[in-house]
Amino acid sequence: MTQNRICVRGVFFDNVTLDEAAHLLRAAARENRSGVSVFTPNSEIVQICLEDPSMREIINGGGMVVPDGIGVVKAARILGTPLKEKVAGVDL
């Protein structure tokens, strides 16, 4: 949903805050855009994506992919491409 995606070990995350993600999803709902998939991978899911390219393809094909874990946020920072914040799926 955003043009600004950050790659963490092959998984591309939207670089958004919780508020920004919620705003984008509300806008999609108002526009009656159906079928917007939202994935909330944590570091364990990123590892699965490393081991299973088909899973990585599915996750990277999501309409919105947000980091549901501080491990992903810390990894992005270590890699020199920081994400704005953790966006937990349950909160979103």
Q: What is the mean pLDDT of each run of 10 residues along the chain (92 residues)?
A: 88 97 93 87 98 98 96 97 97 96
Helix/strand/coil for 82: coil
The answer to pTM > 0.75 is: yes
- Which pLDDT belongs to residue 40? 98
C-alpha 91/C-alpha 89 separation (Å) is 5
- Which pLDDT belongs to residue 1? 64
Question: Phi-psi bin for 41: left (phi > 0), alpha (psi -120 to 50), beta?
Answer: beta
